[in-house]
Structure 1
Amino acid sequence: MQQHQHRIAGEEVNIFVPQDRVDLDVFLEWARSAAMAGPLALDTETTGLDIFSPNYRLRTVQFGTRDTAFVVHWERGGHFQEYALRVLRNAHNFTIHNAPFDWLVLGEHAGIPLESLAPRTIDTKILAALVDPRQPMEGGIGTGLKPLSAYYIDPTSPDTQGDLTAVFRSLGLTKATGWRSIPLGHPTYNLYAGLDVILGSRILPILVSELDRLGVRDALRQYEHEIARICAVMQRTGMVLDDEYTRELDAALAAEAEEFAAVAARYGVENINSTAQVAEALLGMGERLTERTASGAVKVDKAVLLALADRNMQWEPLGVRRRNPLAEAVLRSKRAGKWRSAYAQTFLDGADLRGRVHPNINSLQARTGRMSVTGPALQTLPSSDWMIRRCLLADEGHVMVSTDFAAVEMCVLAALADVKRMKEAIAAGIDLHNFTAGLVYGEGFTKAHRKICKGVGFGTVYGGGPVTIARQTGAPEDDVRFAQAKYHRVYPEIKRTAQRWQREAYASGMVTVSVTGRRLPLDRDRAYAVVNYQVQSAARDCLGQAMITMEEAGLLPYLRLPIHDEVLASVPATEAEELAREIERCMTFDLMGVPISAEAEIGGRSWGSLYGADY
């Protein structure tokens, strides 16, 4: 038996690494006894993050308590796997930090399905996010095991991944190759594998105590674990990749990036990523660039270039100015290059042996609890695009169904702030943006007026000021300011509620509490964001509850992705109408007297068919 010792918070801890059957018997006896006393901390070491890729390997499985850990070398096979499996199957409870990752790893590579592990798991990352969802750069503790351990347990807690990166370099390995190639018996590798479960075991009671102190209900903790499990099932299922189309798209994007880089070069921009070159060329064309970066340089970011190209943030034409050809060329070249590397190549590189891709679904990503999809970030695609979405297919014999909440942010705002006139319009089924435009401009309002009122409504939810709304709508700032002022006169409850939320936050350490009991820390200089946080968080929980209802209705096998306020599903073509209506039913309910409704759209086989693709 190999043994490593370390000190945590002044206490000596031990990490054991079994070498033979006799050592494994010692491990098993320890695990049986430790599991009787409370949750066993569980973790894995693997070759990387791409769990479903063909060459992925599970290297170690480690179990721990507050002072002892055993690192079992799964990669050695035989009895090592047998003994690890006994504990995985028989222990009553585990604590895991970032459980969905280990659920999927152990399901794919150890044959322990997440349906078995999830009900026995407490995820300390979820608990940490409920205590404080902010990352260190936002003024929070962070939800990673290292910052949590440094804050709550021992300021000198090792940064295992950071320190191992230095070990990788000493062995002639890179960060990318180190996890795969470091010798299984390397002492630092085994020490840090063991320390992670010891720290995980120690952090659990601390976080539980904090949640109790802060009054965060058990129901919310359980709810988040259910959402994490549902998202992990969707990630495990994945989506079919149209390999042929994706390879053609990859080549087309490479050609487009090169073509528009050549156009930019004709205007004197040799490097489209050089902000100085782009700014100088645009100024030479007579454009007025008034915005500056923090360092004082002329700003030519995406928002500035889109405005010059007469497009909004979703790349839709605004029709308010002559399109600048250089801004258009820089945007097109950059987007093609980004889409190629972030989407087409990521799909091709990450597909499993069955031709499926498995985007990472983060169930608790943003400060407000909003979910995200990464690897690649599918929620950031423009709403008008079908090219990237065309890569992903429903199963054979299936079609795609997208079900989206109807104006959920505005419905949630009306519910939380008890906005009387808004609630009446929603209950009557009236288009809310038309209704608002009528109140602001009178019965003779135009499409432009409606667009401004829609922008003001979403600006109220997302915290956008007149400059941002003007850029997004193409309307003059003075028109936006007029509409904003009138908006708050016709819906006075919004400002009153926002002021009340701000007062409550100032009185409670700059924390506003959502309708579901989620703690949402505010930045003192951005207290106005309280409306955004409250609405976004409640909207996210509307989606979360709908997902739980869908599972109860037997729909989880069909679900593929949560995207903002939309759920994407792959359903048998012969049952599409029936299943689409059932998904709609699960996404329709009452929120504080305001009806939340959803509308399903049935497409073809590709996700892109819902956005204009012909397949």
Structure 2
Amino acid sequence: MTEILTTNMPKYLSPHDSHQVYNGLDAGITLEVWQRLREELDREEATPEHRAWQAGARINYSFERAMQGPALAMMRRGILVDNYYRWEVVASLERRISHLQNVLNEFACAVWGKPLNPNSHHQLKQFFYEAMKLPEQHSYVKGRKNVSINRDALEKLSIYFHAEPICNCIIRLRDLSKKVSVLRTEVDGDSRMRTSYNVAGPETGRWSSSSNVFGGGTNLQNITEELRRIFIADRGKKFAYIDLAQAESRVLGLLCFILFNLSHYLDACESGDLHTSTCRLIWPGLGWTGEAKVDKELADQDFYFHHTYRYMSKRGGHGTNYYGKPFTIARQMKVPQKLIEDFQQGYFAAFPDISRYHKWCAQQLQLHGQISTPLLTSRMFFGRSNDDATLREAIAHVPQHMVGVLLNLALWRIRAYLRRQCEILAQVHDAVLIQYDEEREEKVLQAVIPLMATPLYHNGREMIIPSDIAVGWNWSKYYDEAMAANDARRGRKPKPLNLDGLRGRVLGVPDIRSRREDPSAKGLERMMI
């Protein structure tokens, strides 16, 4: 392959011409890579294993090329932004940031007599490691050990009682500042935010997203629930947010069934309520009745402070599935480590297939350095095979990869078969956001749901990941007065009402709401509605 040293580019090239040269190099190198890969795809004297790889590579290459159509359609269309609400939220967040900064400065002045900048790594290192004399925390970047003050380091420092409120304050300030940064992201002149989807870049096979080619927009796949409120349907349109229910858990259960012929976890996933079923297995003495509604209420009882049995099953189970250690899970859930140790002991007893899957992944890394999936794809892992971080990546890869492929297949079908009935707006790893004419809601949803389903078979057993539907006029969850009152009774701070938000929808049962906020109304008009 030809090597070109781009640091010695001619000085007389204008920025535009230099940019064109880089584009040409990108295209040329991509072509050379393809020519080399094509030799591997066309090699006839290959082994049976290589022929299987060839078949999988051809299928996946064709599939990823086909997904460029849906990706470009969403990138060009974008999502309408409610600018009035957007700046209202920015103002609210900035007030909270100002208050928290004052609190942080009071803490800092008590420690070293001057304010503290939560975004200055140099200042934070001096504050925690020199002024407060706390042990240094380290991170590894490209194999190099560095003194760190990132989020993980702050969470570790928060175990010291005198540092905990300061660490929590800094973490919260950073989170709020990140939200403000997202809200201040440039919106195009037509009040739409557009993103760029990377169809083939991530190692897991899932898409990633980032700012668009003109520098505006942002990553729409990790927008928080609070910020999704600014995204609204076009006038006369309505959103449907359709996600694959407990997708990664179901795929993990199927994988264990394929590998070990054990169906404990898959049976729990398909019981109708995974988390309640898990509670029944781990805490058998709670007086379970076998009735779904009654058992769910039992699972919603408080277990540890405000954490319910169901919450423990959901958060603890997810972390355990992906090889989370008791110390890490306990720190994230803010519970004692012994609690998670006891939980994992019961969890692995209830689902022995999960621990066997962990051992299988470790064995594959040690023997082959790669993990293969039932979808004829393989991923090589270049980290140390005996490193827990590499093992966690391998354990998470197959469920995440398969869910990404199944979701993208559904997205392709929706665009191919329902192009005139609805518009695809966003892909969020295990969910899609579409919009359609309000009066055609039932017809569109009846057509979409079958397209979301992809049956998977093994040993005569069929597994289909079901879909949950929520409809509304903005991308955030529905929240009414009754929900606010319930939160207040339980000691939680009520959130702003969102009567136009996404609300669960069952086919055949119409949504009787009507739109409250007019997306075409200006700020003053909105205040008068």
Give the TM-score, by structure 1 length: 0.61
- Of structures 1 and 2, the one with the larger relative CO (CA 8 A, separation 6+) is 2
Q: 1:336 is matched with which residue? A: 176
Distance 1:305-1:608 versus aligned 2 partners, 3 A rule: farther
CA distance in 2, matches of 1:292, 1:274: 17
The residue type equivalent to 1:380 in the other structure is: N
Give 1:340 deviation, angstroms: 2.3
The residue type equivalent to 1:468 in the other structure is: T
**SS at 1:368's partner residue?**
coil
Choose from 408, 412, 415 the match for 2:251.
412
- Of stretches 583-592 and 292-301 in structure 1, the one that deviates more from structure 2 is 292-301
**SS at 2:339's partner residue?**
helix
Distance 1:251-1:452 versus aligned 2 partners, 3 A rule: closer
- Write out per-residue CA displacement over residues 295-346 of structure 1, whole angstroms, 9 at most, x where no aligned residue: 9988653356569999xxxxxxxxxx999654443234323322222x1221
CA distance in 2, matches of 1:350, 1:285: 43
Give 1:464 deviation, angstroms: 2.0
The residue type equivalent to 1:301 in the other structure is: N
**SS at 1:608's partner residue?**
coil
CA distance in 1, matches of 2:147, 2:83: 42
- Write out per-residue CA displacement over residues 501-552 of structure 1, whole angstroms, 9 at most, x where no aligned residue: 44344433x1111121222122323235322111111111121121122224
CA distance in 1, matches of 2:456, 2:83: 43
CA distance in 2, matches of 1:183, 1:296: 40
For the pair 1:432 / 2:262, whether they are aligned, the reply is no
CA distance in 1, matches of 2:137, 2:377: 37
Choose from 500, 524, 529 the match for 2:360.
500
**SS at 2:433's partner residue?**
strand
Q: 2:120 is matched with which residue? A: 274
Q: 2:316 is matched with which residue? A: 456
Distance 1:469-1:211 versus aligned 2 partners, 3 A rule: farther
Give 1:222 deviation, angstroms: 0.9
For the pair 1:477 / 2:362, whether they are aligned, the reply is no
For the pair 1:516 / 2:375, whether they are aligned, the reply is yes
Distance 1:308-1:415 versus aligned 2 partners, 3 A rule: same
CA distance in 2, matches of 1:190, 1:610: 47
Give 1:569 deviation, angstroms: 1.4
Instruction: Give yes or no for contact 1:581–1:600 (8 Å, CA) kept in 2.
Output: no
Q: 2:498 is matched with which residue? A: 613
For the pair 1:574 / 2:413, whether they are aligned, the reply is no
Unaligned runs of 5+ in 2: 44-49, 109-114, 212-217, 287-298, 304-308, 480-496, 501-529
The residue type equivalent to 2:429 in the other structure is: H
Q: 2:402 is matched with which residue? A: 538
Quote the RMSD (CA, aligned, Å).
3.5
Instruction: Give yes or no for contact 2:137–2:148 (8 Å, CA) kept in 1.
Output: yes
CA distance in 2, matches of 1:598, 1:303: 34
Instruction: Give yes or no for contact 1:558–1:570 (8 Å, CA) kept in 2.
Output: yes
Instruction: Give yes or no for contact 1:412–1:591 (8 Å, CA) kept in 2.
Output: no
**SS at 2:206's partner residue?**
coil
**SS at 2:376's partner residue?**
coil
CA distance in 2, matches of 1:576, 1:307: 49
For the pair 1:380 / 2:222, whether they are aligned, the reply is yes
Choose from 196, 199, 202 the match for 1:363.
199
The within-5 A match list for 1:172-251 is: 182=15, 184=17, 194-211=24-41, 214=50, 215-217=53-55, 218-251=58-91
For the pair 1:260 / 2:109, whether they are aligned, the reply is no
Instruction: Give yes or no for contact 2:254–2:463 (8 Å, CA) kept in 1.
Output: yes
Give 1:195 deviation, angstroms: 4.4
For the pair 1:301 / 2:301, whether they are aligned, the reply is no
Distance 1:209-1:468 versus aligned 2 partners, 3 A rule: farther
Instruction: Give yes or no for contact 1:362–1:373 (8 Å, CA) kept in 2.
Output: yes
Distance 1:323-1:401 versus aligned 2 partners, 3 A rule: farther
Identity within the alignment, %: 22
CA distance in 1, matches of 2:275, 2:440: 34
Q: 1:491 is matched with which residue? A: 351
Instruction: Give yes or no for contact 1:460–1:531 (8 Å, CA) kept in 2.
Output: no
Instruction: Give yes or no for contact 2:242–2:470 (8 Å, CA) kept in 1.
Output: yes
Unaligned runs of 5+ in 1: 1-152, 172-177, 311-320
The residue type equivalent to 1:434 in the other structure is: T
- Write out per-residue CA displacement over residues 397-428 of structure 1, whole angstroms, 9 at most, x where no aligned residue: 11222111111111011101114122223333
- Write out per-residue CA displacement over residues 356-411 of structure 1, whole angstroms, 9 at most, x where no aligned residue: 221112223421111122221232334xx32x212222111112221111111110
Give 1:239 deviation, angstroms: 1.0
Q: 1:157 is matched with which residue? A: 4
CA distance in 2, matches of 1:579, 1:308: 51
The residue type equivalent to 2:319 in the other structure is: G
- Write out per-residue CA displacement over residues 428-459 of structure 1, whole angstroms, 9 at most, x where no aligned residue: 32x11221122122141755343333233212
Distance 1:254-1:201 versus aligned 2 partners, 3 A rule: same
Q: 2:265 is matched with which residue? A: 422
Distance 1:535-1:487 versus aligned 2 partners, 3 A rule: same
CA distance in 1, matches of 2:396, 2:16: 49
Give 1:591 deviation, angstroms: 2.7
Distance 1:414-1:290 versus aligned 2 partners, 3 A rule: farther
- Write out per-residue CA displacement over residues 69-116 of structure 1, whole angstroms, 9 at most, x where no aligned residue: xxxxxxxxxxxxxxxxxxxxxxxxxxxxxxxxxxxxxxxxxxxxxxxx
CA distance in 1, matches of 2:157, 2:27: 53
CA distance in 1, matches of 2:478, 2:147: 39
Q: 2:452 is matched with which residue? A: 587
CA distance in 1, matches of 2:19, 2:152: 45
**SS at 1:560's partner residue?**
strand
**SS at 2:275's partner residue?**
helix
**SS at 1:520's partner residue?**
strand
CA distance in 2, matches of 1:211, 1:528: 31
CA distance in 2, matches of 1:262, 1:554: 53
Q: 1:98 is matched with which residue? A: none
**SS at 1:267's partner residue?**
helix
The residue type equivalent to 2:180 in the other structure is: R
Q: 1:560 is matched with which residue? A: 425
The residue type equivalent to 2:235 in the other structure is: E
Distance 1:577-1:163 versus aligned 2 partners, 3 A rule: farther
**SS at 2:418's partner residue?**
coil
Distance 1:528-1:303 versus aligned 2 partners, 3 A rule: closer
For the pair 1:396 / 2:235, whether they are aligned, the reply is yes
Instruction: Give yes or no for contact 2:265–2:353 (8 Å, CA) kept in 1.
Output: no
Give the TM-score, by structure 2 length: 0.70
Distance 1:252-1:424 versus aligned 2 partners, 3 A rule: closer
- Write out per-residue CA displacement over residues 196-220 of structure 1, whole angstroms, 9 at most, x where no aligned residue: 4443433322122245565242222
Give 1:287 deviation, angstroms: 12
The within-5 A match list for 1:130-145 is: none
The residue type equivalent to 2:249 in the other structure is: M
